[in-house]
Amino acid sequence: MNADFSPSTNNCEKVKSNETARALAEDLGIDNPLMVSDQGPAPVEGDTGIVVSVNTSPKKGMRKAPVESGVIGLAADFGVEGDAHAGDWHRQVSFLAEESIQVAIDNGLDVGYGDFAENITTKGINIKEMLLGTIVKVGTATVEISQIGKICHNRCAIYYLAGDCIFPREGVFGWVVEPGEVRVGDEVCVLKLGEGEVHRAVSDKPL
pLDDT at 204: 80
pLDDT at 34: 63
Whether 14 is covered by a domain: the verdict is no
Enter the DSSP assignment of 113.
Answer: T
Whether 126 is covered by a domain: the verdict is yes
What ranges in 77-197 are assigned the alpha helix state H?
98-106, 157-162, 167-170
- Mean pLDDT computed over 178-202: 96
Strand-pair partners of 80: 74
How far, CA to CA in Å, does 202 sit from each of 33, 139, 158, 196? 27, 25, 27, 13
Asked if residue 198 has pLDDT above 80, the reply is yes
| pTM of the complete model | 0.79
Lowest-confidence region among 16-30, 36-50, 64-78: 16-30
Domains: count for the chain: 1
Which CATH number goes with the domain that contains 25?
2.40.33.20
Q: Do the Cβ atoms of 149 and 122 come closer than 8 Å? A: no
Which range marks the domain in which residue 46 is found? 19-192
- What average pLDDT is seen over the chain? 80
Whether 34 is covered by a domain: the verdict is yes
pLDDT at 159: 41
Q: Do the Cβ atoms of 93 and 173 come closer than 8 Å? A: yes
Reported as a single tens digit per residue, the pLDDT across 49-61 is 999 999 999 988 7
Q: Do the Cβ atoms of 28 and 170 come closer than 8 Å? A: no
Q: Do the Cβ atoms of 7 and 196 come closer than 8 Å? A: no
Whether 147 is covered by a domain: the verdict is yes
Whether 160 is covered by a domain: the verdict is yes
Give the separation between CA 157 and CA 58, rounded to whole angstroms. 19
Whether 165 is covered by a domain: the verdict is yes
Whether 206 is covered by a domain: the verdict is no
pLDDT at 31: 45
Whether 4 is covered by a domain: the verdict is no
Higher pLDDT among residues 33 and 6, named by residue? 33
Phi, psi of 6 (to 5 degrees): -75, 155
Give the closest residue to 21 by CA, choosing from 163, 130, 158, 134.
130
Phi, psi of 64 (to 5 degrees): -90, 155
CB within 8 A of 167, min separation 6: which ones? 96, 100, 116, 117, 118, 149, 150, 158
